[in-house]
Amino acid sequence: MAAYILRRLLLIIPTLLGILTINFLIIQAAPGGPVEQTIANLQGINASATARFDGSAQSDLSNSSQTATENSSGYRGARGLDPELVKQIEAQFGFDKPAHERFFQMLKNYLVFDFGESLFSGKKVTDLIIEKLPVSISLGLWTTLITYLIAVPLGIKKAVRDGSSFDVWTSTVVIIGYAIPNFLFAILLIVIFAGGTYYDWFPLRGLTSPDFDQLSLWGQIKDYFWHITLPVIASVIGSFATLSMLTKNSFLDEINKQYVITARAKGLTEGQVLYGHVFRNAMLLIIAGMPAALIGIFFTGSMLIEVIFSLDGLGLLGYEAVIKRDYPVIFGTLYIFTLIGLLLKLISDLTYVAVDPRIDFESREQ
């Protein structure tokens, strides 16, 4: 098993390299980078674009506004700006070097987890990620925990009582939950419980109250759960529905196998058969889906929830980085998300072995 783990860890390197290379090429080909946004802002084309300049760039702006000469810059919309100012903007964002030089410099920095600074906020990417991480972890952990605590027992009971009235009406609830996107359910919760139309029981913004630091320990705990309740409920809906049906189908598939009939014939109770034999085999498929579920809950599925409830987490950070073409933040978060995903996949394989010792990945690769 040690050799298998070592091989999987070594495979992370080319996988990361391939993902970064592909995304770098795609983003380089996409129009509307930070330089273009800044030029558009200076020309008054895009008043919403923002950029960070040093003092000399700010002073050149007043001079360039009087310039009507065309320049040789490859950026559309740069006409009327001083070519020196355009070059200064390129240097400010690091685009004064060829793409391949920037790519290899990025890889060199990433080896030591140096992701640079945000092009627009001026903060280090690592500081931004650390700053946003607690929000996403809070939302992701509670969502995952509640999802599994509800969906797995429900799926087992649905499998045991397959075809009964309980199975029918719970399936109806599950299908409705799956059909409604979590962001629409979040809006519904706001309308009903957060002062939208009916009740004003829960806060609408943030993970804590402004006076959180002045509260007692018990008051902080209550305040935290008061704020996190609606976002977690909205996040659980889609994952809960999917996992419930996956659990039911996995158990149904195992319950009808020969070894279950044999175990019952030996006089074992239904609980011994279900949790002593069926559970271990049926949970393999669910364990296999955990890495993708965790990544989805932590980094992608929570983005709209974070936006709706004004939770400043990693999902919102990644979304804003893509909109602004904040390349250091895009690639820094991509690098970390991919690395975590690959490590979670390895942990999933090791959990396979822990659940069912008959599985031996190492012997299969030989």
Q: Would the pLDDT of 124 be above 80?
A: yes
Residue pair 109/116 in contact by the 8 Å Cβ criterion: yes
**Residue 265 falls within a domain, yes or no?**
yes
How many residues does this entry show for the chain?
366
Taking only the tens place, the pLDDT of each residue in 85-103 is 666 666 656 666 777 888 8
Q: What pLDDT score was predicted for residue 299? A: 59
CA distances from 1 to 325, 350, 356 (A): 42, 9, 14
Kindly state whether residue 139 falls inside one of the protein's structural domains: yes
Is pLDDT at 238 greater than 80 in this prediction? no
In whole angstroms, give the CA distance from residue 191 to residue 238: 19
29 falls within a domain: no
Q: What phi, psi does 146 have (nearest 5°)?
A: -65, -40
- As for how many domains the chain has, the answer is 1
Between CA 273 and CA 87 the distance in angstroms is 73
Q: Which of 57-66, 127-136, 189-198, 306-315 has the lowest mean pLDDT?
A: 57-66
Is residue 302, in this structure, part of any structural domain at all?
yes
What is residue 35's predicted lDDT score, i.e. its pLDDT?
A: 65
pLDDT of residue 276: 77
Query: What 3-state DSSP class applies to 117?
Result: strand
What is the mean pLDDT of the segment spanning 198-209? 80
pTM of the model: 0.69
**Confidence class for position 52, pLDDT limits 50, 70, 90:** very low
% pLDDT > 70, the chain:
73
Q: Which domain holds residue 161?
A: 133-355
Residue 230 scores a pLDDT above 60: yes
Q: What is the mean pLDDT of residues 97-111?
A: 83
Q: Does 205 score more than 80 pLDDT?
A: no
Greater pLDDT, 351 or 163: 163
Residue 53's pLDDT band, with cuts at 50, 70 and 90, is: very low
Query: Is 147 part of a structural domain of the chain?
Result: yes
For the cut 50, the answer to whether the pLDDT of residue 17 exceeds it is: yes
Tell me what pLDDT residue 72 has: 41
Token pair of 295 as six digits: 């990544």
Enumerate the H helices of the chain as residue ranges: 2-29, 34-42, 55-64, 83-92, 99-110, 125-160, 165-179, 182-193, 217-255, 258-265, 270-273, 279-288, 290-295, 303-308, 314-324, 327-355, 361-364
**Cβ–Cβ < 8 Å for 305, 231:** yes
- What the block records as the tokens of 115 is 């992701």
pLDDT digits (tens, 9 = 90+) for 55-83: 444 444 444 433 333 344 455 555 555 66
User: 215: domain CATH number?
Assistant: 1.10.3720.10
In the predicted structure, residue 229 carries a pLDDT above the cut 70: yes
Q: Is 213 exposed, middle or buried (0-12, 13-18, 19+ CB in 10 A)?
A: exposed
For the stretch 314-340, pLDDT in tens is: 777 877 888 877 888 888 888 888 888
Question: What confidence tier does 42 reach under pLDDT thresholds 50, 70, 90?
Answer: low
Q: Is 162 within a domain?
A: yes
What sign for the dihedral angle of Cα 226, 228, 230, 233?
negative
* Residue with token string 């797995």: 152
Three-state DSSP class for residue 124: strand
The β-bridge partners of 117 are: 124
Over residues 136-150, the mean pLDDT reads 84
DSSP string, 98-127: -HHHHHHHHHHHHTTT---B-TTT-SBHHH
Confidence of residue 196 (pLDDT cuts 50, 70, 90): low
pLDDT at 47: 39
Half-sphere exposure of 249 (CA within 13 A, CB side): 9
338 located within any domain: yes
Q: Find the mean pLDDT for residues 356-366.
A: 61
User: How far is 165 from 15, CA to CA, in rounded Å?
Assistant: 48
Quote the pLDDT of residue 66. 37
Question: Mean pLDDT, the chain, as a whole number?
Answer: 76
Tens digit of each residue's pLDDT (9 = 90 or more) over 165-193: 888 898 888 888 778 887 888 888 888 88
Which amino acid, one-letter code, is at 18?
G
Q: Is residue 364 part of a domain?
A: no
Rounded mean pLDDT of 251-268? 83
Query: Which one is predicted more confidently, 179 or 15?
Result: 15
CA angle 144, 146, 151 (to 5 degrees): 95
Helix axes of 125-160 and 327-355: crossing angle, nearest 10 degrees:
40
> Which DSSP string corresponds to 219-276?
HHHHHHHHHHHHHHHHHHHHHHHHHHHHHHHHHHHHHTSHHHHHHHHTT--HHHHIII
- Determine the pLDDT at residue 239: 73
